[in-house]
A and B are shown apart, each in its own frame.
Chain A
Amino acid sequence: MNNKVKLIRTESGMNQQELAKRAGVTRQTISLIEKGEYNPSLRLCLLICYALNKKLDELFWIREEDYYEKNQR
């Protein structure tokens, strides 16, 4: 599922390794989350939000219309 982790991470000048260390996961997991290939648990979503100092909806929110549009395709 799409998210804004990569955008916000680069904006805050952090690399994947640093974010991974702060969230307590491996760099590969962060990479997969950014590519939308792995759906993190709510717990990990929160840890990433804390690490980037953002709220959940700023990183992971998808508008309802967009969600259904993506899933119909």
Chain B
Amino acid sequence: MKKIKDERLIVQNLKNIRLLFAFQTTGIVLILIYERLQNGFEGLSDSPLRLLLVLTGTLGAFLSMPISAEVYDSQPMKYRTIMLISLVAGILTGGINYWTGQTLAQAFGAFSLSSGSFFVSLWIAKIIIAKQRMK
């Protein structure tokens, strides 16, 4: 097979990948819903698919950080600062999960150690960015 060099087709390919990604994510979410209904929270937190979903979300948040419109009036928080805050929050959550034997985390929906940390750091980053955009 020849490598595609036509720029129009390359863009078309990327658009297809976007569609594929949406399809795949929908599939993963549906499988997780099924897992939840069949095996409860236990089955859900054991599923590697859930970790995959959370990791994809985290990666997406970090990748979208440098992509921003110039909408800030004041100086925005630096990318590195947001990363650091998220990281600290993630480590803290991980630590809390570890020391409390995950009881605290389980109260919030049965997080496993690693995915709980990722989940929290993802949301911290998202909240900071959303707040800055609203300014």
Report A's interface with B, CB cutoff 8 A. 24-26, 28-29, 32, 38, 40-41, 43-44
Question: CB-nearest residue of chain A relative to B4?
Answer: A26
Tell me the number of A-to-B contacts counted with CB atoms below 8 Å.
Answer: 21
Q: Is B5 engaged at the interface, CB distance under 8 Å to the other chain? A: yes
Residue pair A32, B8 in contact (C-beta under 8 Å):
yes
Residue pair A41, B7 in contact (C-beta under 8 Å):
yes
Q: How long is the Cα–Cα vector from A40 to B11 in the complex, in angstroms?
A: 11
Q: Is B6 engaged at the interface, CB distance under 8 Å to the other chain? A: yes
Q: Is B9 engaged at the interface, CB distance under 8 Å to the other chain? A: yes
Identify whether the interface residues of B are mostly helix, strand, loop, or mixed.
Answer: helix
- 13 additional A-B residue pairs with CB within 8 Å, beyond A26-B6, A28-B8, A32-B8: A24-B5, A24-B6, A25-B5, A25-B6, A25-B7, A26-B8, A26-B9, A29-B6, A29-B7, A38-B8, A41-B7, A43-B7, A44-B7
Report B's interface with A, CB cutoff 8 A. 5-9
Q: Give the residues in chain A near B5, CB-CB below 8 Å.
A: 24-25
Q: How long is the Cα–Cα vector from A24 to B3 in the complex, in angstroms?
A: 12
Q: How long is the Cα–Cα vector from A33 to B106 in the complex, in angstroms?
A: 57
Q: How long is the Cα–Cα vector from A11 to B49 in the complex, in angstroms?
A: 59
Q: How long is the Cα–Cα vector from A28 to B9 in the complex, in angstroms?
A: 10
Q: How long is the Cα–Cα vector from A32 to B6 in the complex, in angstroms?
A: 13
Q: Give the residues in chain B near A32, CB-CB below 8 Å.
A: 8
Q: How far is the CB of B3 from chain A (nearest CB, A)?
A: 12
Q: How long is the Cα–Cα vector from A24 to B7 in the complex, in angstroms?
A: 10
